[in-house]
Amino acid sequence: MSSGSTPATPQHLTLQEFSAISRLSPSTIHRLIKAGKIPFVQPAGKGGKLLFPLNAIELMATRTLDRPSAPAVASGDDCVRLSGPRPKWTQAPKRG
**How does pLDDT run across 38-77, given as a tens digit for each residue?**
889 998 888 899 999 988 888 777 766 555 555 555 555 5
- Residue 33 exposed, middle or buried by CB count within 10 Å (0-12, 13-18, 19+): middle
pTM: 0.54
State the CATH class of domain 12-67. Answer: mainly alpha
1-5, 58-62, 75-79, 85-89: which range is least confident on average?
1-5
- Residue 73 exposed, middle or buried by CB count within 10 Å (0-12, 13-18, 19+): exposed
